[in-house]
């Protein structure tokens, strides 16, 4: 197959960019042709977070748009992985719309947004829905489906999972348990409350700090939410978010507040994660937004050989693709489930694991097998093109 991927919003450096890189890698690995065009609209703070071969062009440039359109119409499928923002310049919105209108190949939409506010910020979305051959989103009960139904569109919408190459990540980062610092607790994400910032603060302050833990947050960009943290007397932390700091500059020590670090390069972060004892992904989300999908940060923690600490309320509603059960009801998950109402249970489990290297080795292997079977088989990408 020949595939063209369009990033109407450009290289943001977060989950959509990661998904594009993973999709490209899977297509190439399976002998398909693929090229990605990213709309050069602005410079995002995380633009260099991932290593990639995405081609940046200004879609409003006539020669660029003609070249993109030629490639699209020579492809078997055009995957639209993001849309321009409604606050983009009129000429940029018009250029994207014009490309979509003139595409003759089959269009696949992958909608990554959860929140209706984010969905409404997408320009050209309904125009693309009108031409779509297939539409995918994280959950068929979410705000996106409701939005397009209210707009009068009745095409089938399918749920998808963002596929991840666990094997390649393991081969690059996995360390012997003896090389991991079991008292390092590393949270990864960004400075949005739904990523589990406050749960990590609470867990550190109530348990990890008293147990000799060193808690590190990575990915905290200086957004409005970061400013709320700074101004609130409730949250206290060691602030190393300034760009002048590298991780080598930080004197990580026990009996300290949470160490808050800024935006990371993905490859460098994964290397740091692989030497930690426990990795934290504490996303909280309403059940109707979840269905099957776990986030890339879930996958990355597991694939680097670190024991995962995940939010129980998320696992209660995320359904495993193979077993059909909520993740928290499955056996041998290798996961420490953090319950907001009973954090002591997770703290006790962590203490037990810290004291037993053999048990840690068993748990991380179990986690690897469990999450690979859920979202690392390649079927996640094959389904997009009707191959599975």
**Dist CA 195 CA 365 (whole Å):** 25
**Dist CA 252 CA 202 (whole Å):** 19
Helix (H, G, I), strand (E, B) or coil at 242: coil
Sheet containing strand 181-188, edge to edge, reads 237-240, 258-261, 214-218, 181-188, 276-281, 307-311, 336-338
Q: Please classify residue 227 by burial: count the beta carbons closer than 10 Å to its beta carbon, then call 0-12 exposed, 13-18 middle and 19+ buried.
A: exposed
State the alpha helices, DSSP H only, in the chain: 15-29, 62-73, 90-102, 116-120, 125-129, 143-150, 166-173, 197-203, 224-231, 266-274, 296-303, 312-315, 343-354, 357-375, 379-382
Residue 190 sits at the vertex; the CA angle it makes with 189 and 191, to the nearest 5 degrees, is 135
Domains in the chain, ordered, with CATH?
Answer: 2-160 (3.40.50.2000), 166-375 (3.40.50.2000)
pLDDT by position in tens, the chain (length 388): 999 999 999 998 888 999 999 999 999 999 999 999 999 998 887 878 888 889 999 999 999 999 999 999 999 999 999 999 999 999 999 999 999 999 999 999 999 998 899 999 999 999 999 999 999 999 999 999 999 999 999 999 999 999 999 999 999 999 999 999 999 999 999 888 889 999 999 999 999 999 999 999 999 888 777 777 777 878 889 999 888 888 988 999 999 999 999 999 999 999 999 999 999 999 999 999 999 999 999 999 999 999 999 999 999 999 999 999 999 999 999 999 999 999 999 999 999 999 999 999 999 999 999 999 999 999 999 999 988 7
Task: Name the pTM for this structure.
Answer: 0.95
């Amino acid at each position: 197959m020949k595939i063209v991927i369009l990033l109407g919003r450009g290289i943001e450096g977060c989950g959509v960019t990661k998904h594009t890189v993973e999709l490209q890698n899977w297509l190439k690995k399976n002998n398909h042709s693929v090229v990605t065009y990213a709309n050069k609209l602005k410079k995002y703070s995380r633009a260099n977070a991932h290593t990639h071969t995405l081609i940046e062009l200004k879609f409003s440039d006539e020669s660029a748009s003609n070249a993109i359109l030629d490639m699209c119409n020579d492809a078997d499928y055009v995957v639209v992985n993001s849309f321009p923002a409604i606050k983009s310049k009129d000429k940029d919105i018009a250029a994207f719309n014009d490309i979509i209108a003139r595409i003759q190949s089959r269009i696949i939409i992958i909608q990554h947004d959860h929140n209706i506010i984010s969905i409404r910020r997408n320009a050209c979305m309904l125009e693309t829905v009108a031409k779509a051959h297939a539409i995918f989103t994280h959950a068929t009960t979410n705000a996106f489906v409701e939005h397009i139904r209210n707009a009068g569109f009745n095409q089938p919408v399918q749920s998808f999972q963002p596929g991840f190459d666990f094997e390649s990540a393991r081969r690059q980062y996995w360390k012997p348990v003896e090389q991991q610092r079991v008292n390092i607790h590393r949270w990864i994400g960004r400075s949005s409350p739904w990523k589990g910032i406050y749960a990590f603060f609470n867990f550190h302050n109530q348990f990890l700090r008293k147990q000799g833990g060193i808690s590190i947050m990575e990915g905290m960009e200086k957004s409005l939410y970061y400013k709320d943290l700074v101004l609130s007397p409730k949250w206290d932390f060691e602030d190393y978010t300034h760009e002048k700091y590298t991780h080598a500059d930080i004197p990580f020590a026990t009996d300290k507040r949470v160490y808050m670090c800024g935006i990371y390069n993905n490859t460098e972060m994964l290397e740091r994660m692989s030497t930690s004892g426990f990795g934290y992904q504490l996303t909280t989300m309403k059940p109707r937004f979840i269905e099957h999908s776990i986030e890339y940060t879930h996958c990355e923690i597991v694939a680097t050989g670190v024991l995962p600490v995940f939010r129980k309320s998320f696992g209660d509603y995320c359904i495993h693709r193979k077993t059909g059960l909520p993740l928290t009801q499955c056996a041998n998950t290798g996961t420490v489930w953090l319950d907001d109402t009973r954090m002591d249970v997770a703290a006790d489990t962590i203490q037990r694991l810290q004291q037993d290297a053999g048990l840690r080795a068993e748990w991380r292997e179990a986690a690897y097998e469990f999450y690979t079977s859920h979202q690392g088989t390649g079927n996640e990408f094959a389904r997009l093109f009707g191959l599975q």
